[in-house]
Amino acid sequence: MLNRYRASFRRYLEALVRPLARAGVTPNQITAVGLIISLVGAYFFYRGEQLVGALVLLLGSLVDALDGTLARMTGKSSRVGAFLDSTFDRISDGAVLFGIALGGLVSWKVAFLAFMGSYLVSYERCRAELAGSGKLAVGIGERAERLIVIIVTALFGYVRYGVYIVAIIAWITVFQRMVVAYGRLREGKS
């Protein structure tokens, strides 16, 4: 949902990226830094420090938004970079939910439901697009929305409810994507 508004933030992201491009920083380096920051955020959640975890995760999310912008600005977009970015995003998502559960901030059952729903959202998009559905950026719980829910609820000390919300919106998105992909792929067969 929020990915629609990414273009309106492009000039701000480009302003942040210009000095990095001049310094010779590569998109893959930014991707790796974003993952490391998210893992640090997961560690703070494990320690029960929701506010710090949320702030670190917010920083990691900002850094994560820069790699694609840097790749486009410098002409260094690549399939390898896209693959790394997607893989590191999944590691980050899993680590954050794991850290929250390991820290006792939410039950493992709920964290697992949120984890599985989040992964299925990404998997469905990849698999459906490979099958010929066209771009499948649909649903109320894409990655940006899920991160915002975790960050905002953690800022106020209620990350437990954030994980519940993430589980719900992720699974709603799973079913939304399933319906849309099924319809598109079925039409493509006729």
Residue 8 sits in a domain of what CATH number?
1.20.120.1760
Instruction: Output the tens digit of pLDDT for each of the chain's 190 residues.
Output: 555 656 667 788 888 889 988 999 999 999 999 999 999 999 999 999 999 999 999 999 999 889 988 988 888 888 999 999 999 999 999 999 999 999 999 999 999 999 999 999 999 999 999 999 999 999 999 999 999 999 999 999 999 999 999 999 999 999 999 999 999 999 875 3
* Of 40, 87, 90, residue with least CA distance to 60: 40
> Could you identify the residue written with the tokens 């480009």?
14
pLDDT value at residue 16:
86
Q: Are 165 and 149 in contact (CB under 8 A)?
A: yes
Q: Which one of 67, 85, 89, 93 is the catalytic residue?
A: 89
Global pTM reads 0.91
DSSP 47-104: TT-HHHHHHHHHHHHHHHHHHHHHHHHHT---HHHHHHHHHHHHHHHHHHHHHHHHTT
Q: DSSP readout, 100-142?
A: HHHTTSS-HHHHHHHHHHHHHHHHHHHHHHHHT------SS--
Q: Report d(CA 99, CA 12) in Å as an integer.
A: 31
What is the tally of structural domains in the chain? 1
* Residue 85 annotated to the active site: no
Domain extent at residue 11: 2-189
